[in-house]
Amino acid sequence: MTIDIARHWRRWALHAVVVLVYLFILTPVIFIGWISFFSNEIIAFPPDGYTLRWFSNVWEQRVFARGFVMSLQVAFISMLIGVSLGTLAAIAIVRYRFPGRDTLNMLLLSPLIVPGIVAGTALYIFYIQIDNYLEWRLQATLEGLVLAHVMLTIPWTVRLVSASLVGIDRSVEDAAMNLGANRWTTFRRVTFPMMRAGLVAAALFSFITSFENLELSLLLVGPGRTTLPIAILQYLEFKVDPTIAAVSLIQIVLIGVLMLITDRFVKLSRVV
């Protein structure tokens, strides 16, 4: 009897903790969603009424639309480059033994450790120097941003693709070769499909990290060439109205949909 009650309470306590943690994570999101419909320009609780005005304001403020397109371009290109290079690196690191292998691994993962603002400043100075000596303008250009963001997409890819490669039983590849598949066919028909889940996850995470990056990009944008997170930040400097909440909500929904679609193809919980 007492044991039953103790167990009951323990389970109840566990549920309570889980609910609290979720609340803690979700409260800001819920508030953002809520605020984006407030009719008051100056955010106040409770609101006087509700409106969709801020969403149309997002559209009318061209900085957001332009920032959105810019972010989309940067994220997509950085993802493509990062996933291609990162996958090759992951294959080399997991499958081959060569001097400097551990160092290379550390080096490729290091952008995740260096604070974005520090790396961004370093890149800014570097870009200026390149412009000085080589007359090649990178600061405040798409190429410059992509180059910077590849530093973010490669580590994610290396991590996720390595993990999926490590999990592949080598004897499955041996079996393919035993059945008459040469190395390339074995990769195409066996290895690649088996690491697909890792690749999709890498692409998704690369895209999201690049899309929502603020710190690294801060110094690398210029007037008229701004990513969405920076457009939001700049807007915030002048005005705090629910437009910001509306933009954020759009961004959250977008990323959420992206994850849901991806999850239909590969179970993300299994790879990440």
Partner 1 sequence: MSQVSLRRLAKRFGSFTAVDDVDLDVREGELVALLGPSGCGKTTTLRMIAGFIAASGGRILIGDQDVTDLPPYRRNTGMVFQGYALFPHMTVNQNVAFGLEMRKVPRAEIGPRVAEALRLVQLDHLGERMPRQLSGGQQQRVALARALVIRPEVFLLDEPLSNLDAKLRLTVRVEIRQLQQALGLTTVFVTHDQEEALTLADRLVVMSQGKVQQIGTPTELYERPANHFVADFIGRSNFLAGTVSAPGRFRSRGGLDIAFADDGAGPRGEGVLAIRPEKASLEAGTDAGTGANRFPGTVVFVTYLGAATEVRVRLASGEEVTVTRHNATPLDDPRHAAGDLAPGNPVTVVWPPAAGLLLAPPPA
- State yes or no: residue 193 binds partner 1 (CB under 8 A): yes
Handedness of CA 15, 20, 22, 27 (dihedral sign): positive
Q: To the nearest whole angstrom, how small is the minimum distance from the Cβ of residue 234 to partner 1?
A: 47
At closest approach, how far in Å is the CB of 87 from partner 1?
Answer: 18
| Cβ nearer to partner 1, comparing 176 with 203 | 176
Q: Minimum CB separation from partner 1 for residue 189, in Å?
A: 8
Residue 166 engages partner 1 in binding (rule: CB under 8 A): no
Q: Which is nearer to partner 1, 189 or 239 (CB)?
A: 189
Closest distance between partner 1 and the C-beta of residue 180, in Å? 3
Q: Does 185 bind partner 1 (CB under 8 A)?
A: yes
Q: Which among 87, 51, 110, 261 has a CA at the least distance from the CA of 162?
A: 87
Q: Is 196 in contact with 188 (CB distance < 8 Å)? A: no
Which one of the spans 14-22, 85-93, 164-172, 237-245 is the region binding partner 1 (CB under 8 A)? 164-172
* Cβ pair 147, 243 in contact under 8 A: no
20-28, 115-123, 178-186, 212-220 -> range binding partner 1 (CB under 8 A):
178-186
**Cβ contacts of 146 within 8 Å, gap of 6 or more:** 74, 77, 78, 81
Contacts of residue 219, defined as CB under 8 A and 6 or more positions apart, other chains included, come to 120, 121, 123, 124, 139
- 50: β partners: 38
Out of 194, 208, 214, 252, which residue is the one contacting partner 1 (CB under 8 A)?
A: 194
Position among 80, 85, 91, 181 found at the interface with partner 1 (CB under 8 A): 181
Residue 180 binds partner 1 (CB under 8 A): yes
Is residue 131 within 8 Å of residue 137, measured between CB atoms?
yes
**DSSP code at position 140:** T
Binding site for partner 1 (CB under 8 A): 169, 171-172, 174-182, 185, 189-190, 193-194
